[in-house]
């Protein structure tokens, strides 16, 4: 395994040990056209968004490492053109696991690439794929790299699969395949490096794991996630979406896991989180301990909708994340 993979593998193992229903490498891969030239691919780990056109392919997230060959084959059914951009919504291995494989996918020569002096004939090591993520994703991924071993010189090989085009401003925009593609950093939501991607022409939002319509949100506190940021991010997604005239359709939202949604689905999910947040806040005001709050089951009425036997986030874990977020705020 290459170095980035070992980092990803260790987190993947953690997820599996935690009973991670979010990771299902053996699922059947399925593609749905969402709207205009944007597609959603399910079953490769986290949902993968693909935008295609004359200039090539843009992906949002790369699924699990083990699913990369099947995912590439699925994308090739959509377009034979080079995969130019891969945006990572965040650092979890079911969303960046395919990065290494995709960065090694057969490439077209890039006309603007010139090897460094002394490296005549060297292939462009990271061509053609431009991996984009918020800088917090890159810093956390590189911090997790094992130290260099004897004989390793670092460089491109070591960083293969890492985001090479990180951004640190609140937004980043680009134009690709005839439409504006806008990236928004959503601070401290699911993690501290979450990106939401708006395909402005196709009217599709790719939200990553801060939106999971059939499961409680995983607020990854160890990686900078907070309940406050989660709610703020969902409110921002709602600003980006416009419902159709019958309230169905309009802007479509591709969640990190689960079905294609529209604004009404995001509203329902946001409202559930706000209601649970308010209940936990009330219990904290009553000086209840975390154990007492868990025992009071503030998510009780929502559990049938958001928890199944294979759910990655159980009710207690969600309640604890909310509690910790509210207490850390003081």
The residues that touch Zn ion, with contacts defined as CB under 5 A, are 92, 209
Exposure of 275 in the CB half-sphere (CA atoms within 13 A): 13
Closest CA to 68 of 151, 137, 161: 161
Q: Which is nearer to Zn ion, 92 or 172 (CB)?
A: 92
Residue 271 to residue 166: CA distance in whole angstroms: 32
**How far is it, in rounded angstroms, from Cα 5 to Cα 122?**
24
Minimum CB separation of residue 117 from Zn ion in Å reads 42
**CB closer to Zn ion out of 217 and 298:** 217
Closest alpha carbon to 164 in 138, 136, 125? 138
Cβ 279 to Zn ion, closest distance in Å? 25
Rounded Cα–Cα distance for residues 296 and 20 (Å): 25
92 vs 294, beta carbon nearer Zn ion: 92
We find the least distance from the C-beta atom of residue 315 to Zn ion, in angstroms, to be 19
CA distance 150 to 269: 50
Q: Select 179 or 230, whichever has its Cβ closest to Zn ion.
A: 230
Do 184 and 43 touch, CB atoms closer than 8 A? no
Closest contact distance (angstroms) between CB of 146 and Zn ion is: 22
- What's the farthest any 2 CA atoms get from each other in the chain? 70
Q: Which CB atom, from 93 or from 201, has the smaller least distance to Zn ion? A: 93
Of the two residues 90 and 160, which places its CB atom closer to Zn ion in the complex? Answer: 90
In the complex, minimum distance from the CB of residue 49 to Zn ion, in angstroms, rounded to a whole number: 15
Smallest distance from Zn ion to CB 222, Å:
12
Nearest to 11 by CA among 103, 97, 132: 97
85 vs 218 by CB, closer to Zn ion: 218
What is the total residue count of the chain? 330
Contact 131, 162 (CB under 8 A): yes
Nearest distance, CB of residue 229 and Zn ion, angstroms: 14
Place of tokens 């294609």: 260
State in Å, rounded, how far the first CA of the chain is from the last one. Answer: 43
- Within 13 Å of residue 234, how many CA atoms lie on the same side as its CB? 28
Closer residue to Zn ion, CB minimum distance, 192 or 209: 209
* Structure tokens that stand for 176 in this block: 């690709």
**Between 126 and 322, CB nearer to Zn ion:** 322
DSSP run (H or E) holding 52: strand 48-53
The least distance separating Zn ion from the CB of residue 132, rounded to whole angstroms, comes to 17
Q: Give the sign of the dihedral formed by CA 25, CA 95, CA 256, CA 270.
A: positive
Closest approach of Zn ion to the CB of residue 21, in Å:
13
SS3 at position 181: strand
């Amino acid at each position: 395994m290459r170095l980035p993979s070992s980092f990803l593998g260790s987190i993947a193992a953690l997820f599996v040990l935690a009973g991670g229903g979010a990771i299902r490498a053996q699922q059947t891969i399925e593609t749905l056209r969402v709207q205009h030239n944007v597609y959603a691919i399910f079953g490769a780990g986290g949902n993968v968004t693909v935008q295609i056109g004359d200039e090539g392919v843009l992906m949002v997230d790369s699924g699990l490492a083990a699913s990369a060959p099947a995912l590439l084959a699925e994308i090739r059914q959509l377009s034979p053109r080079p995969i130019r951009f891969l945006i990572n919504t965040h650092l979890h291995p079911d969303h960046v696991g395919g990065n290494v494989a995709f960065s090694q996918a057969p490439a077209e020569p890039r006309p603007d690439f010139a090897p460094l002096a002394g490296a005549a004939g060297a292939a462009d090591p990271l061509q053609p794929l431009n991996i984009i993520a918020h800088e917090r994703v890159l810093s956390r991924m590189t911090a997790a790299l094992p130290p260099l071993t004897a004989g390793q010189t670092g460089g491109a090989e070591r960083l293969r699969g890492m985001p090479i085009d990180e951004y640190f401003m609140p937004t980043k925009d680009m134009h690709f395949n005839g439409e504006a593609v806008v990236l928004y950093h959503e601070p401290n939501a699911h993690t501290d490096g979450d990106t939401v991607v708006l395909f402005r022409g196709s009217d599709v939002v790719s939200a990553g794991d801060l939106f999971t319509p059939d499961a409680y949100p995983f607020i990854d506190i160890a990686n900078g996630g907070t309940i406050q940021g989660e709610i703020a991010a969902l409110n921002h997604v709602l600003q980006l979406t416009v419902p159709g005239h019958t309230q169905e359709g309009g802007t479509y939202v591709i969640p990190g896991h689960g079905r294609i949604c529209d604004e009404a689905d995001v509203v329902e999910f946001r409202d559930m989180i706000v209601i649970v947040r308010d209940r936990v806040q009330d219990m904290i005001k009553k000086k209840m301990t975390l154990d007492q709050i868990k025992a009071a089951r503030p998510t009780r009425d929502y559990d049938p909708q958001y928890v199944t036997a294979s759910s990655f986030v159980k009710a207690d874990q969600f309640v604890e994340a909310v509690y910790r977020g509210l207490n850390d705020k003081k």
